[in-house]
Chain A
Amino acid sequence: MDFIVSQLVNGLVYGVLLFLMSAGLSLIFGLMNVVNIAHGSFFMLGAFFGLSIQQWTGSFWLALLIAPIPAIVIGLAMERVFIRPLYARGHLDQVLLTFGFTFVFVDAVRWVWGPEVRTLPTPAMLDGAVEFLGVVLPRYRIFIIAFGLLVALLLWAFLERSRIGAMVRAGVDDAFTAAGLGINVPLLFALIFGLGVGLAAVGGVVAGPVLGLYPGLDIDILIPAFIVVVIGGMGSLRGALVGSLFVGLVDTFGKAYFPGAALFVVYLLMVVVLLTRPQGLFGVGKT
């Protein structure tokens, strides 16, 4: 029982981190039809910015608050200067651009912070463990889960309940018609790109004390996020959440119960979804 509960917590932690990645990935794709291959880079950048801010100020909370800002600035600059001029040329070129940036970012991180594995210290307030139903659980992991679910709730409220959220949904359904109705679609693109990048960076900071920080973290988090988006369906926030938790839990329990086949379990899940529902569980079905 102890084992199951602690694995459950680990799975949810991983799932929530994947959600912070895949929510942005999925929204950006849904709206702009672009997959941001550099999305993992922003996760990594967020984590490293967080590390530096934590070292200067000694506060994890300041790091969590401030680290996404430079990441968002870089993301917005990337969207404005590089991606936007290529809208007329189709999505392939934009994807290739973001791909080029992964090389730049990973070497920039190696240059600035060095190649070794670092960790962000757990904030003192969340150090230690709590006992829950007779199971000892690290406080910080509980915090990650709560934080992630809170972010999911806020995102949902933003998209479903706010005026801008309605515009975003209109853009996801049909950007062309949305523009015809007077919605400033390029501004919307920038907003969602910034939001997605910011979420990834926040994810990086939150993940800091749990995962190690190293150049290469970008791809290690990007690939499972891709799998999440394929399973959950592109362009769907609900798909991103369900897919993330699903992948997080399946991966964690797979590793616990079938260590030999752990690598395949998630892929097997993906293959089953692909064979039965190629557009993903909650996909909107556009290609």
Chain B
Amino acid sequence: MSADTDNARIPPVGMPKGERFRLLAGHAVLVAALAALPLAGNYAQGLAAEVLIFAIFAMSLDLLIGYTGLLSFGHAAFFGLSAYAVVTLGVHLGINGWLGMLAGIVISALGALVIGFFCIRVSGIPFLMLTMAFSQLLFSISVKWRDVTGGTDGIGGFQRPVLFGWSLDDRLVMYYVTAAGFLLAFWFLRRLIGSPLGSIFIGIRENELRMRTIGYPVQRFKLIAFVIGGAVAGLGGALYAFFNGFVSSDILHWALSGDAIIMVILGGTGTIIGPVIGAAVFLLLKNFVSSHHEYWMLWVGVTFILCVMFLRQGVWGVLSKDLPRWLRRVPGRRRKDTR
């Protein structure tokens, strides 16, 4: 795993001027693209909102898989906990959506603290199995506890909150709120990875034993990463609840954890931006294939298998490394060589 991921993008400290400018330009382009996207029409705007929400979810998982080396197979637990918190608090108790969002993020973080406390006692494959089992437990609870969760039918009738007089029922407002949430999560995770704490996470991924020998309380830092990952997933879950105005037990199903893993791997692990691209590719693929073929999961599975076998760097790895190398290699260089 360590060989596949990218260390080069860690600290922006003392970066050369050109590099810093390019980074700044990149962020400006990102913000401009997000701001301009609604011009592309209603369908694109709705799809983009969904992509951004899942991008938050996938980025938060990348913090665990790609940076800390924690292969969590139950990340939907924290996405779902928050979405349930927002909708149940709103529908049953009439609590405002923004407060619900705050509560959702806190509940996701607490959920991650409890589940993480048990799961980090083992590492590697058993960790994977435990995270999967615990998220399945939450799924079963959501199915059985019908009075509160509505079971598989779910609960609807959620009143979307209002922002400065604009209701989130307006899809455009919803989109911009989602985009803002996405940028917040994106910048937060980038800062986190660049911080000393982020370096500790990467150290654990690279060589846990060495970190322990140096004297880091590795278990505590794993738990911290798990809780942060859970909280960011909670932000995504809350936005998803706003977006749909509805939540059902599907949101805690392991298939959603699986989707997030596919997004991370497809886009490129340990890159933050990769999972964003992965989320976009995944949802586009899903929309495209499911309109042509009933069994779209089959094709998603095949794509994923091929990606693991032949494209382990993910789409972002190809775009940022292989493609420039290939472009540079093309005609000029060869002429120089032959001359």
- Chain B neighbourhood of A82, CB < 8 A: 305, 309
Write out, one digit per residue, whether chain B residues 239-272 have a CB within 8 A of any chain A CB (1) or not (0).
Answer: 0000000000000001000100100010000000
The residue that B301 contacts in the complex, of A95, A102, A275, with Cβ under 8 A, is A102
- Determine if B173 is an interface residue (Cβ-Cβ < 8 Å): no
- Determine if B63 is an interface residue (Cβ-Cβ < 8 Å): no
Chain B at the A interface: SS class: helix
Smallest Cβ distance from A184 to chain B, in angstroms? 24
- Chain B neighbourhood of A106, CB < 8 A: 297
- Closest A residue to B300 by beta carbon equals A103
- Determine if B20 is an interface residue (Cβ-Cβ < 8 Å): no
- Determine if B298 is an interface residue (Cβ-Cβ < 8 Å): yes
Q: How far, in whole Å, are A142 and B26 apart by their CA atoms in the complex?
A: 67
Known contacts A103-B297, A103-B304, A227-B129, then 17 further A-B pairs from the complex at CB < 8 Å, ordered by chain A residue: A34-B125, A35-B125, A86-B308, A91-B124, A91-B125, A95-B71, A97-B305, A103-B301, A104-B298, A104-B301, A110-B295, A223-B132, A267-B137, A271-B118, A274-B121, A278-B122, A287-B123
Smallest Cβ distance from B190 to chain A, in angstroms? 24
The residue that B129 contacts in the complex, of A91, A111, A226, with Cβ under 8 A, is A226
Quick check: B136 and A223 within 8 Å, CB to CB? yes
Smallest Cβ distance from B326 to chain A, in angstroms? 23
Write out, one digit per residue, whether chain B residues 102-117 have a CB within 8 A of any chain A CB (1) or not (0).
Answer: 0000000000000000
- Chain B neighbourhood of A86, CB < 8 A: 308-309
Residues of A within 8 A of B (CB): 29, 33-35, 82, 85-86, 89-93, 95-97, 99-104, 106-108, 110-111, 219, 223, 226-227, 229-230, 234, 263-264, 267, 270-271, 274-275, 278, 287
Q: How far, in whole Å, are A166 and B123 apart by their CA atoms in the complex?
A: 28
- Determine if B141 is an interface residue (Cβ-Cβ < 8 Å): yes
- Chain A neighbourhood of B44, CB < 8 A: none
- Chain B neighbourhood of A219, CB < 8 A: 136, 254
- Interface residues in B294-318 (C-beta closer than 8 Å to A): 294-298, 300-302, 304-305, 308-309, 312
The 13 sampled A-B contact pairs (Cβ below 8 Å) are A85-B309, A95-B125, A97-B308, A103-B300, A104-B298, A107-B297, A226-B130, A234-B125, A234-B126, A270-B133, A275-B121, A287-B124, A287-B126
Number of A-B contacts (CB under 8 A): 107
Known: A100-B304, A101-B305, A108-B298. A227 touches B133 (CB 8 A): yes
Known: A95-B71, A287-B124. A230 touches B129 (CB 8 A): yes
Chain A at the B interface: SS class: helix
- Interface residues in B276-330 (C-beta closer than 8 Å to A): 294-298, 300-302, 304-305, 308-309, 312
Known: A85-B309, A95-B71, A97-B305. A111 touches B298 (CB 8 A): yes
Q: How far, in whole Å, are A33 and B125 apart by their CA atoms in the complex?
A: 8
- Chain A neighbourhood of B121, CB < 8 A: 274-275, 278
- Determine if B1 is an interface residue (Cβ-Cβ < 8 Å): yes
Q: How far, in whole Å, are A82 and B304 apart by their CA atoms in the complex?
A: 12
- Determine if B144 is an interface residue (Cβ-Cβ < 8 Å): yes
Residues of B within 8 A of A (CB): 1, 71, 73, 118, 121-126, 128-130, 132-134, 136-137, 140-141, 144, 254, 258, 261, 265, 294-298, 300-302, 304-305, 308-309, 312
- Chain A neighbourhood of B134, CB < 8 A: 267
Smallest Cβ distance from A28 to chain B, in angstroms? 11
Q: How far, in whole Å, are A97 and B265 apart by their CA atoms in the complex?
A: 11
- Chain A neighbourhood of B118, CB < 8 A: 271, 274-275
Q: How far, in whole Å, are A263 and B298 apart by their CA atoms in the complex?
A: 31
- Chain B neighbourhood of A90, CB < 8 A: 1
- Closest A residue to B143 by beta carbon equals A263
